[in-house]
Amino acid sequence: MGTYFFKRILYVIPITLAVSFFCFMLVHLSPGDPMDAVVSADAPREVVAMVQAAYGFDRPLPEQYGRWVVRAVQGDLGLSTANGRAVTTEVFGALVNTLRLALVASLIGFTLGCLFGTLAGYWQGSLLDRFVTGIAVGGVSIPHYWLGMMLVIVFSVELSWLPSSGAGPGSSSDWVWEWRYIRHLILPAITLSVIPMGVVTRTVRAMVAEILNHDFVEALRAKGLAEVRVFLHVVKNVAPTALAVMGLQLGYLLGGSILVETVFSWPGTGLLLNNAIFQRDLPILQGTILVLAIFFVLLNLMVDLAQARLDPRIQRN
Amino acid sequence: MSITLDSQVPVAAPVSAPVKGYWQAVFSRLRRDPVALIAGLILLIILAMAIFAPWLAPQSPYSTSMLNRLKPIGTEGFPLGTDELGRDMLSRLIYGARLSLLIGVMPVVNAFVIGSAIGIVAGFVGGRTNTVIMRIIDVFYAFPAVLLAIALAGALGAGLVNSLFSLTVVFIPPIARVAESVTTQVRNYDYIEAARASGARSLTIIRRHVLGNVLGPIFVYSTSLISVSMILASGLSFLGLGARPPMPEWGLMLNTMRDAIYVNPWVSVLPGVMIFSVSICCNMLSDGLRSAMDVK
């Protein structure tokens, strides 16, 4: 038991290092000199050399990587070349907004997914099942940026019920759980919740249907247990997998929110990344991806550990 | 020793049933699946649209007209309205099928070839080679797919080739993983052992005994990725990282029409209807194929 947990936690170290190497190389993959964004093309050669030395671009790549990692561990991811602000501040400021959106979206998606999946699994083959399965396939097939546009058209343009962009009244960035802020969250959260809804529905439906076929369910019913109690047994069997799927989905939402954030101008990591790409702000690009990827690695770790704790069979593999 | 006796009883095939090939069986099963049939039909129609675009489109997808900007659906001469530069929406949707299908399907095709190769080699060779390859693959799993695609496309810069490349990289790891696990299973079967014992070389074994058994499951899995790939490829164009204006491409069309939702909302969402149709049909056909081929 202890060894599995220990091994799984240790495994995070090489993965994180590899991820950081990938993020470091991203900047060097990109065409053009990263210096171009800092100094103008007609700057005198001495100035270029000076700035290069200041940024450490004149050193060999492995050394640059080593320095970058050491600084990153200390929480210093460099400065934005677009506005000169610290990358760490920018990324974590945006990450809070993205997390809020992703958490609400996964909560909606998870609740609906479990509900739909259980209904469809219990009455497999019924009309309800077909309807729910259709919704689930739609949920995983829909281009969510397009769904976002449709929701804006219906609820913002046609009905004028909800705002179409931003994360609060005016340009305020401090979130409060009040209606004037929450109304900005509704449309992007619903848009983003469609994917986990579809995935969770499919998973839960398949599992419920499978578990109902097990002999133990028949035995429970045969001994006269109320259907509600039988259902509890089913829930117990489905819960670990459903939770694990949801945990991973939350991670995918963090990465996947970029398109939705762009549609709704939600000030999260997606919008930050999008702006960084078009301003060629490579430190921000690198920093955002690094933070999101590490977050995803840790989330994976927690999902694995939680699942192993709930279902001891996993540790034996 | 009744067990040995049992195994000697010949399993006679029903005399009347004609011996059908595997693919024949798959297709006859697919034919009886109405959902998969309809999905396949819609995909064929859209594919035909792409191929015969010059004959089907009533107008050029590039000819702009300042006088006819943002016409609603049902305008005379523009059955599906016009976009923000007065170009005929119907023609652009038809021509858009070409690029959108290409950039949506190509990454999966590329990844199918490369990922299968990597996975089969890793699974067949096993041991340390397997560990090294699969650990490298694991690194890519540390990124959510969308993030990886956008990170690569963003770092490489906008453009069709870069977006194709990024998406190919995104789909190689999952396909390689499936290929590896299927191959590892097949590798341990007795007939592989027998082939090796009779002196067959590794390449021959892979070609004659492994490929036929692993390509089916890998293929089915890959088809399930096409839907995601369509959404992501058009998504990259939507962000401005894939196709460039004035190319007709559904994701890019959605992007350029975004400001028009206040003027003429329902025309601007039409490209999304196309992406959604292709994506959902791919998913349904893939599900049908999965059960028809009896793959887990």
Q: What distance in Å separates residue A229's CA from the closest CA in chain B? A: 31
CB contact under 8 A, B266 and A153: yes
Q: Which of A7, A106, A149 to probe by mutation at the B interface, max B CB count within 10 Å?
A: A149
The 10s digit of each residue's pLDDT in A133-174 is 889 999 889 998 999 999 998 888 888 888 877 777 765 567
Contacts of B263 in chain A (CB under 8 A): none
Contacts of B235 in chain A (CB under 8 A): 143, 145, 259
Q: What distance in Å separates residue B205's CA from the closest CA in chain A? A: 29
pLDDT for A256 beyond 90: no
At residue A300 the predicted structure's pLDDT band, cuts being 50, 70 and 90, is: confident
Cα dist from A9 to A3, A16, B132, whole Å:
10, 11, 19
ipTM for this prediction: 0.85
Please name each of the domains of chain B with its CATH number: 40-292 (1.10.3720.10)
Q: Which has more pLDDT, B1 or B50?
A: B50
Q: Which of B239, B285, B286, B291 to probe by mutation at the A interface, max A CB count within 10 Å?
A: B239
The 10s digit of each residue's pLDDT in B209-240 is 888 889 989 999 999 999 999 999 999 999 98
At residue B276 the predicted structure's pLDDT band, cuts being 50, 70 and 90, is: very high
Classify residue A7 by burial, with Cβ atoms within 10 Å: 0-12, 13-18, 19+. Answer: exposed
Residue A27: what pLDDT? 79
CB contact under 8 A, B142 and A150: no
Of the candidates A101, A100, A80, the residue with the CA atom closest to the CA atom of residue A90: A80
Asked whether B101 and B278 are in contact (CB, 8 A), the reply is yes
* Helix H or strand E encompassing A48: helix A45-55
Nearest CA in chain B to A254: B144
User: What span, in angstroms and rounded, lies between the C-alpha atoms of A3 and A20?
Assistant: 26
CB contact under 8 A, A143 and B275: yes
CB contact under 8 A, A255 and B241: no
Contacts of B163 in chain A (CB under 8 A): none
State the pTM of this model: 0.86
Nearest CA in chain A to B235: A259
Query: From the list B138, B145, B154, which residue is nearest A273 (CB)?
Result: B154
Task: Determine how many CB atoms are found less than 10 A away from the CB of residue B161.
Answer: 9
Nearest CA in chain B to A251: B144
B23 Cβ contact partners less than 8 Å away, ≥ 6 residues apart? none
Q: What is the mean pLDDT of chain A?
A: 84
Residues 206-235 on B with a CB inside 8 Å of A are 227, 231, 234-235
User: What span, in angstroms and rounded, lies between the C-alpha atoms of A134 and B252?
Assistant: 28
CB contact under 8 A, B235 and A145: yes
Render A124-176 in DSSP notation, one character per residue: TTSHHHHHHHHHHHHHHHS-HHHHHHHHIIIIIIIS--S-SSSSSSTT-----
CB contact under 8 A, A29 and B276: no
Residues 139-158 on A with a CB inside 8 Å of B are 140-147, 149-150, 152-153, 157-158
Residue B2: what pLDDT? 36
Convert A205-253 into a string of H (helix), E (strand) and C (coil).
HHHHHHHHCCHHHHHHHHCCCCHHHHHHHHHHHHHHHHHHHHHHHHHHH
CB contact under 8 A, A296 and B144: yes
3-state SS assignment for residue B78 = strand
Query: From the list A22, A256, A273, which residue is nearest B139 (CB)?
Result: A22
How does DSSP classify residue A268? S
Bridge partners (DSSP) listed for residue B88: B82
Tokens found for residue A192: 């983003």
Render B255-279 in DSSP notation, one character per residue: HHTGGGGGT-HHHHTHHHHHHHHHH
CB contact under 8 A, B231 and A157: no
Asked whether A109 and A249 are in contact (CB, 8 A), the reply is yes
The C-alpha angle B211, B212, B217, rounded to 5 degrees, equals 90
Classify residue B277 by burial, with Cβ atoms within 10 Å: 0-12, 13-18, 19+. Answer: middle
Nearest CA in chain B to A34: B155
Task: Determine how many CB atoms are found less than 10 A away from the CB of residue B177.
Answer: 21
The 10s digit of each residue's pLDDT in B43-57 is 999 999 999 989 988
Contacts of B283 in chain A (CB under 8 A): 137, 140-141
Bridge partners (DSSP) listed for residue B82: B88
Please name each of the domains of chain A with its CATH number: 88-269 (1.10.3720.10)
Q: Give me the mean pLDDT over the A286-315 stretch.
A: 84
pLDDT for B31 beyond 60: yes
Residues 281-300 on A with a CB inside 8 Å of B are 282, 285, 289, 292-293, 296-297, 300
At residue B164 the predicted structure's pLDDT band, cuts being 50, 70 and 90, is: very high
Least confident of A40-49, A126-135, A241-250, B115-124: A40-49
Nearest CA in chain B to A23: B151
Contacts of A158 in chain B (CB under 8 A): 265
User: What span, in angstroms and rounded, lies between the C-alpha atoms of A177 and A150?
Assistant: 26
The 10s digit of each residue's pLDDT in B15-27 is 444 556 778 888 8
B262 touches chain A (CB under 8 A): yes
Nearest CA in chain B to A281: B155
Nearest CA in chain A to B156: A30
User: What span, in angstroms and rounded, lies between the C-alpha atoms of A268 and A275?
Assistant: 11
